[in-house]
Structure 1
């Protein structure tokens, strides 16, 4: 059975195991439109869908009777989105490589990319999962952090100064060289090898050399075409581009005698880096032994003579001793190649090749630092009549590098391979490893049946590969390709119940961790779930507060804040460099970081979260401070500052918000007004009728201010309904340019008039008054509740949520609108902690 067959067996067995446990026929509770990401983590269209039959306008302080039947937390089985996948493998394996950056973009629902209904699975995505898991486990289980790598160049793919490619090699038929460039990333000792053979002719062997940059090392090539040999040099190299070449330097040609000496190059290889203490020594057999001279530089051993040479090594280490040789058997027994260090045998191998095709035999032996005597010889000499067993040696090669110690073991490897099969049995150790890993990866205890299947799979792979770790790796791959890892699977423990009932303790831990951390539960959450303590009200409240205060809660800023405020759009903002020369990628990042830091300060503080709209403090670095007209700041670091006197009045005056709601060449009061209505008031305007021209068209030659252009546009009755809400807000912010600079004239050179009147005859004179009106709107608090609910639960709001969210909004007011307490209140809702089975068509919330 090949690894490929095992791999597909994995998929079949996992999908069948999941089918028994997953309630996969969850109804679509949202009914929303789906939009794809534009690549900036934001929606390409208006998909907020905030209404859903409930009153989501600016006046949500209704005291009307709440008689909607409460909904529970049902939703489609929830695939991990890209951010959640990256964070989960980070916490599971300690891997920071963000493998999901190569996955297809996630769709969005209701403004967020963690909406379960739109997180579908495709064949392409599953293929990406397979590749990611292979890389992740290879990295996690790797033994040493510094790998010795090889760069291999087949000679026929190279171009020499003479000769041409011939078959699977390159024939240097005259004096010349075959070069290749190579690049290295780390300084160290590198071994440069060339597999060569001589087309021998004349009185001498082929004379060759290996050149590395301007250093040339010559040698004789005794090997012939039927049995090429590997010739090597070693040297210290710095990072960068280098050149290696195989050189032929003693061409011989006697056409009248049909003699032609050439050199055949099979390949060139660069291997390294080795440690700087690497020893590289090369000994020709004729220089170190008293054997009988054989053909092509070989020395023939028949009895006691050994190859012998003094060696000196600088460090304790594992050393490769390579011997190119061939043997002549006697009485059906091949010669035994023996290696001695200081008279002690340290290696032995049977020589099975003959004179037609010699080979290089490699043994790895430990050698301590100091001076030693290296001997190589035959361990079983024998004569029978006039016949002898013969060992013929061409050369001996010593290569050694690292100190004789175990290389560092990564934390991820230690956390996965929690036992050694040598200490118990392979089966016991296999089950221990898989049970612990699957419990963390699947975020719940695994069943005996599931463990049996995984252990069986590991054993099948072990039997196929003869490698314990290979078997473990196949089973670990199965765990990470399972729906129980890729999805947040919730198996209904009471599928026949008609009443809302609690989800399991481990499911609650998962909902909490992905709502607050966008990642898997930590050990504390899992232990509380194990003991059935997590769902207790006091424990649940404490855990939410702990998690919001944890550093992993940066995901709330990045993922909730980044999508609610649409800060992710800043990645793709482009501005005309002539109109806005100050705008570049660094300024764009500083703008976004300002808003993120303000958001974070409210998340971890005790202040009224509604004040984020009117806050008189912000965060700036030197670049942003200069952009805002402030002085006295140096360096890239951000500092909290008071924004009084610089025309900054809270969130709506942040350069990031003003920039992402503008166009490439100028401001967009319509976009700015729509952003405020949608993101802060949950009163998103409907899309324009198809027949309405949305361009601000004016007659040729006519000069008009931005306000007058919009007024002319609104004269169309088809436009007026929507624009009466959007335009006053957007025009109230027109003192800010398309990159958020304060100005007194608009894009067309007219004086800005920031005053306006909102529906309900609410008037304002400037951006500061506008911000205060929005902050005090009854709809603002509930809109924030709506957005955070949508994000935390992973589905859109339905009618049955209305009364509960009204209660949450009122309870949040009693906390003084402390942002961290809103997470506690939402985590306590029935929608977050309960579920109901799918309802029949006769009724129910779904």
Structure 2
């Protein structure tokens, strides 16, 4: 065909219309291919879902009526939500006509296949706006850079949470007040790291807990002691410091003087003070002289002066352990309350610790070598001419770690300017302190960002460079910046190689710093901070003492850490037959397997304590102060372990019925059944309650019980899950949760990926989650396989250049902080 003929044909409007129709037909055909799996099973949706989800009933605010397979293209978020409800068994609701297990499986697979195929046609990795360090990351980063431990809670405001985690970029807002706090923190941290030979005396009060038991040995204190407290205190200079222990004895209801006890103070396990408290003379003074006698006893434990070198040291206050046969206090063990920790009907035994004050330095003599100074001063000038070169060496090394990349002269200019000002005003050390302060206040340290390559257009997807990938990886696994080995691999551009990246993941997971995945990721996922929100009624739970909170946390930390560290299948979190106990927690559980204050691994022979659901931290977090709550526990399991957040209750729902005084007491189960009489409540409670009731044999503080404490009858923990699976015990519950291991693997991967990316997952992320779960099935869903799947995904390694209001605000905040 001649060119002129072809040109004329293409200009013909009829030809253009036919061509456009053909193009649309081809496009529709291609789309039909993508949704063909879903189309083949669409009749199941029409049969089991659209009876309720139609324009008339509009159940749950959703109408599927009139929607065909083609809407998978236009409404992927909606269909991901439908898919989640189908996988979890929440839909159709209990009592409604439901598909058989093969039908449900076929429908789920068809929807997944179609949604995954659609996502593959137009992949989108998601984007993260400018990412500020949260205070946990700030503290761990500072320790890694300077070798000094800081209490970020004392320096920085509490961070908000997004999607369950405090590292979500969009909630890490930046304001002038935040910037000011970070500036003040930079000064405080830099002074603490370098030391201050001419520091003025200051004091800090450490609160004790009068409700803590003083009977058992406390980990971190010398053997042969009992009770007390351990304090990590920073001493700014070599000098003398005063120690004051307050609140050891009390009058009115006399306590603390019934027996003679020996209090000791240690610094790094070396005893610096010893004195007696409680004997006939002290008892007479408190009983007869009251306030005057108590003041005289308190005076013996005030302003105990001792020389301590600069640096962070472990201060211990405790009591010498003595034979119970020699103490009246032993008799208090026959009361249902720990006599040394509590008043028992107006009578109590041993002393308590209300607070400890450390003041100083007095008569400072300078600053000796500390761990942080050894980390900072890679050189030290012997004469003035050597000072600037040494300062550049020190500050460039610190800046490289802080900025997580090689530094340029321009990067170092600000820090060197601050150094010069400090050196001129005082000395070399003061100059270094000012330079470090400038580095810690720099946006290069406080923020992480994915800078697109030059020439990238708005809306364009780009691969983050190896240095950015190294930072993202290290903050994911360690909650701090990359170490030198990871930086070197990034500088060599080796992280783009999947094999090299996988090797680096395994190295990092084996590092002790990976425990941050436990204390930062897992603890937030499982809402362990909820422990402090429950204050058990000690009349109902006399065995509970405040130090059990620490024991609950430590048990869970060691347990989850063992699963992660040993790279076991992640469903072992629910089924593993071991735990970690000290004597106090062992007795609290009624196991009687451990002696001493140190935690030890214990192999369990009773499935009651298997997995996370048998741990006191989870059980107490999901309880009220005076009773258990199957609703809270069921909703917790639904959200944390099944991955479906429970819907909010209706605004006019009646409160849970409590037992009335004088009336027949009902079990929690009976009261829940009457609560479910409301049809508006039943649809959700039929799902939630069986999950929570399976844990009803555990009381609010995690102890096992056979009978309901109110009704006095044996607890009925039976129920039916949404798929018809019967459960009669905790063991039945966790076995049901791992019957299809891919379900828990998907929930875990979703939570972990949310934490890794620093943003909530959207519908376009779910195909990636499913791919990771499918690919790790062969490795039995081990942690290293799931982590590798996440860090090699496009969602982790790519970003999108988006110019949005949030990005502009963040950029303006960085500019503002740069000018301060």
State the TM-score, normalizing by the size of structure 1: 0.61
Q: Does 1:738 align with 2:791?
A: no
Contact 2:461 2:798 in 1 (8 A): yes
Q: Which has the higher helix share?
A: 2
Partner in structure 1 of residue 606 of structure 2: 645
Moved more, 601-610 or 66-75: 66-75
Shift in Å at residue 102 of structure 1? 3.5
Partner in structure 2 of residue 595 of structure 1: 556
Q: 1:143 to 1:608 in 2, by over 3 A?
A: same
Partner in structure 2 of residue 725 of structure 1: 687
Shift in Å at residue 764 of structure 1? 1.9
Contact 2:577 2:607 in 1 (8 A): no
Q: 1:643 to 1:495 in 2, by over 3 A?
A: farther
CA distance in 1, matches of 2:545, 2:426: 57
Contact 2:452 2:462 in 1 (8 A): no
Shift in Å at residue 591 of structure 1? 2.2
Shift in Å at residue 762 of structure 1? 1.9
Matches within 5 A, 1:125-136: 125-136=178-189
Partner in structure 2 of residue 437 of structure 1: 398
1:776 to 739, 742, 749: 739
Partner in structure 2 of residue 798 of structure 1: 762
Q: 1:538 to 1:189 in 2, by over 3 A?
A: closer
Partner in structure 2 of residue 137 of structure 1: 190
Q: 1:51 to 1:662 in 2, by over 3 A?
A: farther
Q: Does 1:490 align with 2:473?
A: no
CA distance in 1, matches of 2:550, 2:434: 42
2:672 to 705, 710, 718: 710
Gaps of 5+ in 2: 1-76, 89-104, 204-234, 242-271, 276-302, 310-362, 806-820
Moved more, 699-708 or 719-728: 699-708
Contact 1:137 1:473 in 2 (8 A): yes
CA distance in 1, matches of 2:189, 2:507: 30
Gaps of 5+ in 1: 1-48, 153-183, 191-237, 242-269, 277-399, 842-846
Shift in Å at residue 793 of structure 1? 1.1
Shift in Å at residue 698 of structure 1? 7.5
User: Max radius of gyration: which structure?
Assistant: 1
Pairwise CA RMSD: 3.5
Partner in structure 1 of residue 87 of structure 2: 59
Q: Deviations over 1:424-480 (max 9, x none)?
A: 6655444434332222111112334333444345445655x3755544433332221
CA distance in 2, matches of 1:744, 1:476: 60
Q: Does 1:543 align with 2:571?
A: no
Matches within 5 A, 1:341-420: 408-419=368-379
CA distance in 2, matches of 1:625, 1:151: 41
Shift in Å at residue 626 of structure 1? 1.6
2:464 to 503, 507, 515: 503
CA distance in 2, matches of 1:652, 1:189: 49
Shift in Å at residue 580 of structure 1? 0.2
Contact 2:129 2:449 in 1 (8 A): no
1:581 to 542, 545, 549: 542
CA distance in 2, matches of 1:734, 1:823: 34
Shift in Å at residue 185 of structure 1? 13
Contact 2:467 2:487 in 1 (8 A): yes
Contact 1:707 1:731 in 2 (8 A): yes
Q: Does 1:760 align with 2:723?
A: yes
Partner in structure 2 of residue 304 of structure 1: none
Matches within 5 A, 1:223-622: 408-419=368-379, 422=383, 428-459=389-420, 462=423, 465=425, 467-494=427-454, 496-497=456-457, 498-622=459-583
CA distance in 2, matches of 1:695, 1:274: 59
Q: 1:478 to 1:606 in 2, by over 3 A?
A: closer
Q: 1:414 to 1:633 in 2, by over 3 A?
A: closer
Contact 1:143 1:409 in 2 (8 A): no
Q: Does 1:119 align with 2:172?
A: yes
Contact 1:83 1:518 in 2 (8 A): yes
Partner in structure 2 of residue 314 of structure 1: none
CA distance in 1, matches of 2:480, 2:408: 23
Shift in Å at residue 585 of structure 1? 1.8
Shift in Å at residue 414 of structure 1? 4.7
Contact 2:199 2:364 in 1 (8 A): no
Moved more, 629-638 or 794-803: 629-638
Count residues in correspondence.
557
Shift in Å at residue 133 of structure 1? 1.7
Contact 1:495 1:837 in 2 (8 A): no
Contact 2:239 2:364 in 1 (8 A): no
Name the SS of the counterpart of 2:83 in structure 1: coil
Contact 1:149 1:273 in 2 (8 A): no
